[in-house]
Structure 1
């Protein structure tokens, strides 16, 4: 009997070798990670989507997945031949890449070439979004930046800026901004035409995209050629228009930052002038309600006036009052930027008058006691510029109580602050009426710290202040007792040519009387000056003047060194002859010689006219 035939409507029985479908429900992330090793595409898609939803919830979940070993199998699935599996795996990897340990694993797996290949036009927009997200996260680490640059990812990233998808635009621009932190990447990005695309993004309807585009432009305009390229692309006008439309928008500070960078190029400055851009800068400085915007506007105005031709126009632009007004706003960054720009415009005498009339001097003096070192630095710079060759402004600084804080700032501990304080005091001392007030404030004793600082620029300015102070006997006496003379002699040994030259000048001024000359010689100034004057490489004219002045005010040293005195030298009590000076042996002063024991060596002859007259008087009485 043959096999029974099935009717048309009778169901076929299942094949004996077919596995019946099993519906699995996983309640733990660990199980889901294990399922990433499945060969079934449907399972892989569902698992990846579940892991994506889990990772999306919080950073702790991402950390859990990394510890469970999800990175490597997910990365393997990014290379899957099925588009749906690839897309969902890319979504998971993009989220996980915000975790530092996940990024380290990605670098170890050398995932950059694979992720970069996903940026081709044939891939889905969702793949582009999460691939660029992964690259952006990797660019947050130095090692990640290095790996990205070595794989030539800039070209596909620049291409992605043109994407119609805002997430892709944002991720690509942010990744480029991070890579541009390495100066070497700037020229590569510029040559790929990225500036034009980034400028287009600042017109985006999404502030976050505008933000990252502006940040990228801030980085790229640190380069001279890129600044000119931005000008060629109409960037100056586009940025000005952005500022005009967003005068009190936080992003405007970034646009102003870019313009400030560009204004270091004279070509960009001329372009801004043609676009009536200075009025826009001044508008931002005066009308914006955001201090950060005002600050960047002040910086940009300062850059504008660094060019001599533009600076001549300063009196016509009425910028001084706006800048002075910023000094009274309780915002350290704004005060520092305004003060720095004021120090530039104050180089013009007509601008100084406006600054004074606008209460600028009082406000600058007030800022000398700011808690912020940068504010103190630029407040001092304003006063240094203002008091140059101006006794009236110097008197105003004194009237506002500026001398005491100025002297205190000589020991501020911040080199730039100390340098500028010394500069202001040097200017003030040219007004003889202020000299006594400065000396009474212990300026000379405080000078010991900057003289011994080890900072060449600070030592130069401290030596110049010594030159200004040490023009009378009282000041020179204080120099001796404070230890400043010894510190000054040490500077003659400096490796800096400018430090040695300035120290020689200070020694020449200090050696103007016998007592200070003796103190200088006691600390080795004579030998150091002789060495400088005999050196072909290190000699300078100030060393020769200092040596001559030192010897003219210490005749025993001059006689010992030269073996004779000139007709104009007047010998007085205390002159002594200790014999000819020997090379490499320091000349001892009379007090040091008196402490030595009597020997059979060459006697020291001392002239004392007072005792000689007494002896002659006794002789007359005997006669």
Structure 2
């Protein structure tokens, strides 16, 4: 709760400071009935300072009749008066006599109204303090106070104030109290905000609260509590120091347990938390034996969001980690991953393609993936309208089309057409990865010729003429295609390298300019003889 004594009320403009002694308190209370805003604001400031001095002064104000006129100022049209009155009640409401009178005056709606989004943070905090002071009396007020804290602790300064006033200890105690289980979800939401700050994280860890939080999340039988706990871990785990502390507290065991929940929301939240924790190498290694098999099972879920979250966790776990990629394969993950490529959610498709690409970095796994009809399954993602999916699908092709058999399957399945179209993309990543895939696919002559027939060479030539669209892969893909079309290469460049072996069917048309199309040999044969330069054809076969 806020440290009220740190605040200074904004003084009205034309008045000098007004000090209250006990003998003058009655006079200032009378000022609360003034019609002038400046007087009201100044009287509230003096009463606030007077009330801060202790319970005796609060009782004095109660006996002098200050509470009733102050309640009317909660809805005053002047913002400063309204704020000052709210701050006073944040202090006065801790007095039992004041609490009793506030119940009789039925002012809770006026206090709750101060929680409106358009009000200042300071009003939110003191209104929450008032509500919290009233809450042994009104359980629903505890709920409202926690909901308010859930909003205001999005602000870093408010989180610091809550931490400094031992608010985190109170929140943990709420979680430990079974009788307050109706408040656990809101308490977790506040804790989730606080865990974003390293200082709060350290304080919770040092007081044993972090271990209690993880144990609470793992053992709770309420799905929303488990889900919110996992979300709290996710938010905090974006900070590297927080990840380190979580790992030391063995957060991974808690998250693996949550993957086994019957609630889809909890499974999603746990998968997302695992994704965030993957930045910690120790966590990444932990999930090798515990976590990856469970995530593979979630890929088979009927819930598309569950499949997407599980695929994201697997993508992060297997990136730059051959051991985890191998573990995913050993958990029979290839078939489920390929099935996810036909998902309705773009994120799920992109994540599954990433995992398959990570697996394919190892030759035995690549061969296994090829045996599961990856080349046919990847065609739909290549045709996606989503650039992330396009990019990941192209990378998957580049990782798996590394031999003649795979390229033949891709060619026969009609996968080259959408791949060539991606070379035209305005998205740099898509164009780069598509160029990479084309470079890999151009590794054999038949596929290279088919790519050229589909216009890949022309598109790449156009791309490479642009200073902003070309990239090292587009240039490499163009050269790779040229090396499988030596007639064109010789006509465009005027030379062949020592590795370019001329076979039957090579012809020398003469030098052509960039952008000029080289006619196929069949079309040249149909032309009438002319006085133009002769086309030289290599043909070592005998006509006999």
Classify the TM-score, shorter chain: 0.7 to 0.9
Deviation at 1:565, TM superposition (A): 1.8
Closer, same or farther: CA 563–381 of 1 in aligned 2, 3 Å? same
Distance in 1 of aligned mates of 2:80 and 2:456: 62
Distance in 1 of aligned mates of 2:520 and 2:112: 72
Quote the residue 1:319 is aligned against.
Answer: 251
Closer, same or farther: CA 250–554 of 1 in aligned 2, 3 Å? farther
Deviation at 1:319, TM superposition (A): 2.3
Distance in 2 of aligned mates of 1:176 and 1:170: 10
Distance in 1 of aligned mates of 2:414 and 2:106: 67
Q: Kindly indicate whether residue 354 of structure 2 is the aligned counterpart of residue 426 of structure 1.
A: no
Deviation at 1:375, TM superposition (A): 1.6
TM-score with structure 1 setting the length: 0.66
Please, which moves more after superposition, 526-535 or 575-584? 575-584
Distance in 2 of aligned mates of 1:367 and 1:169: 51
Q: Kindly indicate whether residue 346 of structure 2 is the aligned counterpart of residue 415 of structure 1.
A: yes
Quote the residue 2:488 is aligned against.
Answer: 557
Deviation at 1:224, TM superposition (A): 4.3
Aligned match for 1:282, one of 214, 218, 236 = 214
Distance in 2 of aligned mates of 1:173 and 1:583: 77
Quote the residue 1:216 is aligned against.
Answer: 148
Aligned match for 1:398, one of 329, 334, 337 = 329
Quote the residue 1:517 is aligned against.
Answer: 448
Q: Kindly indicate whether residue 293 of structure 2 is the aligned counterpart of residue 293 of structure 1.
A: no
Distance in 2 of aligned mates of 1:341 and 1:413: 23
Is the Cα contact below 8 Å between 1:158 and 1:172 reproduced in 2? Answer: no
Is the Cα contact below 8 Å between 1:281 and 1:300 reproduced in 2? Answer: no
Is the Cα contact below 8 Å between 2:307 and 2:348 reproduced in 1? Answer: yes
Quote the residue 2:410 is aligned against.
Answer: 479
Quote the residue 2:196 is aligned against.
Answer: 264
Distance in 1 of aligned mates of 2:460 and 2:511: 18
Distance in 1 of aligned mates of 2:352 and 2:519: 37
Quote the residue 1:545 is aligned against.
Answer: 476
Deviation at 1:334, TM superposition (A): 0.8
Map residues 71-86 of structure 1 onto 2, 5 A cutoff: none
Distance in 1 of aligned mates of 2:276 and 2:191: 18
Is the Cα contact below 8 Å between 1:259 and 1:300 reproduced in 2? Answer: yes
Deviation at 1:278, TM superposition (A): 1.2
TM-score with structure 2 setting the length: 0.75
Quote the residue 2:394 is aligned against.
Answer: 463
- For the aligned residue pairs, the C-alpha RMSD in angstroms reads 3.6
Is the Cα contact below 8 Å between 1:323 and 1:342 reproduced in 2? Answer: yes
Closer, same or farther: CA 498–121 of 1 in aligned 2, 3 Å? farther
Give the secondary-structure state (helix, strand or coil) at the position aligned to 1:369: coil
Give the secondary-structure state (helix, strand or coil) at the position aligned to 2:467: coil
Distance in 2 of aligned mates of 1:590 and 1:151: 86
Deviation at 1:392, TM superposition (A): 4.6
Is the Cα contact below 8 Å between 1:248 and 1:288 reproduced in 2? Answer: no
Closer, same or farther: CA 581–175 of 1 in aligned 2, 3 Å? farther
Quote the residue 1:376 is aligned against.
Answer: 307
Quote the residue 2:120 is aligned against.
Answer: 189
Quote the residue 2:128 is aligned against.
Answer: 198
Map residues 68-217 of structure 1 onto 2, 5 A cutoff: 155=83, 162=90, 164=99, 165=102, 171=109, 175=113, 179-180=116-117, 185=118, 189-190=120-121, 192-198=122-128, 201-202=131-132, 204-205=135-136, 206-217=138-149
Q: Kindly indicate whether residue 177 of structure 2 is the aligned counterpart of residue 245 of structure 1.
A: yes
Closer, same or farther: CA 372–155 of 1 in aligned 2, 3 Å? farther
Deviation at 1:412, TM superposition (A): 0.5
Distance in 2 of aligned mates of 1:371 and 1:169: 50
Deviation at 1:387, TM superposition (A): 2.9
In structure 2, the gaps of 5 or more residues are 1-65, 94-98
Aligned match for 1:572, one of 503, 512, 516 = 503
Aligned match for 1:386, one of 317, 321, 329 = 317
Deviation at 1:579, TM superposition (A): 4.8
Please give the per-residue CA displacement for 1:312-341, whole angstroms capped at 9, x wherever unaligned. 344432222222111111001111111222
Give the secondary-structure state (helix, strand or coil) at the position aligned to 2:541: helix
Quote the residue 1:355 is aligned against.
Answer: 287
Please give the per-residue CA displacement for 1:561-588, whole angstroms capped at 9, x wherever unaligned. 2133223311123323455445545555
Deviation at 1:502, TM superposition (A): 2.0
Deviation at 1:418, TM superposition (A): 0.9
Query: Which gives a bigger RCO, structure 1 or 2 (Cα 8 Å, sep 6+)?
Result: 2
Closer, same or farther: CA 383–599 of 1 in aligned 2, 3 Å? same
Q: Kindly indicate whether residue 429 of structure 2 is the aligned counterpart of residue 498 of structure 1.
A: yes
Is the Cα contact below 8 Å between 1:522 and 1:589 reproduced in 2? Answer: no
Is the Cα contact below 8 Å between 1:174 and 1:216 reproduced in 2? Answer: no
Is the Cα contact below 8 Å between 1:576 and 1:605 reproduced in 2? Answer: yes
Aligned match for 1:526, one of 452, 457, 470 = 457
Please give the per-residue CA displacement for 1:130-168, whole angstroms capped at 9, x wherever unaligned. x89xxxxxxxxxxxxxxx9x9999848956974754696
Aligned match for 1:438, one of 369, 392, 397 = 369
Quote the residue 1:345 is aligned against.
Answer: 277
Closer, same or farther: CA 246–349 of 1 in aligned 2, 3 Å? same
Deviation at 1:283, TM superposition (A): 2.5
Is the Cα contact below 8 Å between 1:532 and 1:543 reproduced in 2? Answer: yes
